[in-house]
Amino acid sequence: MPIVATRVYRTLAALTLACALSFGADSQARESASSSPSYEEPREYRLWYRNFDSPAVHAALRLAFDKTPEYGAYRITRSVEMVQGRALLELHRDPDERQVDIANVATSPAREESLYTIALPIDGGLLGFRVCVVRKDRLDRFQGSSSIADLVERGLSIGQGAHWPDADILRANGVPVVTHTRYETLFTMLAGGRFDCFARGVSEVLYDLERVNRDDLAIEPDLLLAYPMPSYFFVGPRDHDTAQRIQLGLERAIEDGSFARFLADYYGRAVEALNLEQRQLLILKNPFLSADSAPVGRAALENLRRRIQAGVTSH
């Protein structure tokens, strides 16, 4: 159940991605923990562990909460480790029983139908723009590729999470896909030769490799896979207050300019470091977007495509 989209949300992907490509690249994580003085008992929000560990996602949620002090003090805690599919199931449980209150994941019609959806791509739509993490000794297998058909003809396969919408998108475009339920295990499978490319979002791949810290893996330098796929915050279907707080906080951040600064701080470095304007753009269709999310995803895709073609990502 997406929160009703305003005109701001329908054009947001284009606007936020423009901001991400226009500001400086250095990131500085903030450490604020609460939005109001502490005489009041803070409410605990359990953020899915992979989101909690992601500096950008964590910062986006803090930004929304800091902009809404009328909702009271807050504390964001890390959920126990669990796969994405289970995290989304946890959101459906009663508040006293569940182990996750908020998750930031790629959207799908089923997720929007069954959960409260804050329909704003917190990374400006960058999750749908993907580069390949590959074994260094297999980099030459990708050289000269200019289309998805080239990858398929070379017998190259892509690894993805079993519960991620990306797996179905890739299959719908004829790409062989190998899946696993655990994100961390996919890096081990890649290193072991179970598949050839672990397709990671532009907004997350640098952070991924810093955490994994494997000398045998590298980012393939020439290809950029692109498909419309917004990434939203999701909360439980009865957690109306949390959904409204996140929506209102992000809307205020957009209006006062702090959301644009957040994008620049946390995603600007990746946009520059990955040399997007020099990569071969491989566009895939995504037949699995809802009527509400399709315009957001298309806007982000077309915005980045124009900027890459114009070569404006360097500044």
Domain span holding position 251: 7-124+231-272
Task: Tell me how crowded residue 296 is: count the other CB atoms within 10 A of its CB.
Answer: 27
- 118 plus 154 within the same structural domain: no
pLDDT score at 314: 39
pLDDT score at 126: 86
CATH number assigned to the domain comprising residue 221: 3.40.190.10
pLDDT score at 290: 92
pLDDT score at 218: 97
- 262 plus 162 within the same structural domain: no
Is 219 within 8 Å of 205 (Cβ atoms)?
yes
pLDDT along the chain (315 residues), means of 10: 45 44 37 49 96 95 98 97 96 95 96 95 89 97 94 96 94 97 95 97 92 95 94 96 97 95 89 89 93 86 71 42
Task: Tell me how crowded residue 24 is: count the other CB atoms within 10 A of its CB.
Answer: 12
Question: Which pTM was predicted?
Answer: 0.83
Decide if 164 is inside a domain: yes
Decide if 286 is inside a domain: no
Decide if 304 is inside a domain: no
Structural domain count, the chain:
2
pLDDT score at 272: 85
pLDDT score at 303: 76
- 107 plus 164 within the same structural domain: no
- Report the alpha-carbon distance of residue 259 to residue 294 in Å, rounded: 22
Is 148 within 8 Å of 173 (Cβ atoms)?
yes
- 119 plus 236 within the same structural domain: yes
pLDDT score at 310: 64
- 22 plus 115 within the same structural domain: yes
Kindly report the backbone phi and psi dihedral angles of residue 224, in degrees, each rounded to the nearest multiple of 5, phi listed first: -135, 110
Is the dihedral angle over the CA atoms 69, 72, 78, 82 positive or is it negative?
negative
Residue type, 130: R
- 23 plus 164 within the same structural domain: no
